[in-house]
Amino acid sequence: MVDMHANSPKTLRQDLLNQRKEFAAGQSYAQAKERLIAGLNQFLVKDGNSLRSIALYWPIQDELDLRSALIAWANQNPGCALALPYARPDKHLDFYEWQDGDALTPSQHGVPEPNPNNPSRPAITPDCILIPCVGWSSSIENDKTHYWRLGYGGGYFDRTLAALRNNNPQFICIGIGFDWQKLNDAQWVAQAHDEPLDMMLTESGLLR
């Protein structure tokens, strides 16, 4: 589905966003979404017991909406919390506890964000982050598969993931995307500053 020509990341990103918009309006979207959320629920049942907090994203630009599944997980697990990112001016992300119905404010990029000064919603260092991918790829190094995310180009997640990994060796980062968004080396190769994903979740299941 993705054009095979090697383009600049900016052009590639725009092509992928256009294709995601078409895909979200298409007939196969509902089934792909259902399968991907089923995969998320399987992960939450299997691994959710070891997690106290999960950072999700507020869906924009046809990103997959995972909120219902995660709200259900938090409701079924007392003491567990959800968090949303807040973009700092230095291009790092902080995370604050989020509950369904909270008032949010658009960031400079138009993404709804929590209020960092809300005393009833403390800052959280999440055990797990779910990150939407514009595109994604995989590479094999020393018999280990690595997954990589092509994002919007701001670098927020790469900086944040590096800091979170330094503080918590058990930290889990899961990319969220569809099979058709997978890129080959001719289209895009992760750069030295790109942080790998621990897992990649698509409609085909959870890739570890």
Point out the annotated binding site for substrate: 63
Report yes or no: 12 and 135 within 8 Å, Cβ to Cβ: yes
Distance, CA of 48 to CA of 46 (rounded, Å): 6
The owner of tokens 């070891």 is 50
Distance, CA of 97 to CA of 173 (rounded, Å): 18
The tally of CA atoms less than 13 A away on the side-chain side of residue 12 is 24
Of 95, 185, 193, which Cα lies nearest the Cα of 151? 193
Residues placed in the known binding site: 63
H helical segments located in the chain? 9-25, 29-47, 67-76, 156-167
Report yes or no: 114 and 86 within 8 Å, Cβ to Cβ: yes
Q: H-helix or E-strand containing 184? A: none
> What's the Cα-to-Cα distance from 31 to each of 17, 39, 40, 178, rounded to whole Å?
20, 12, 14, 12
The owner of tokens 């973009």 is 87
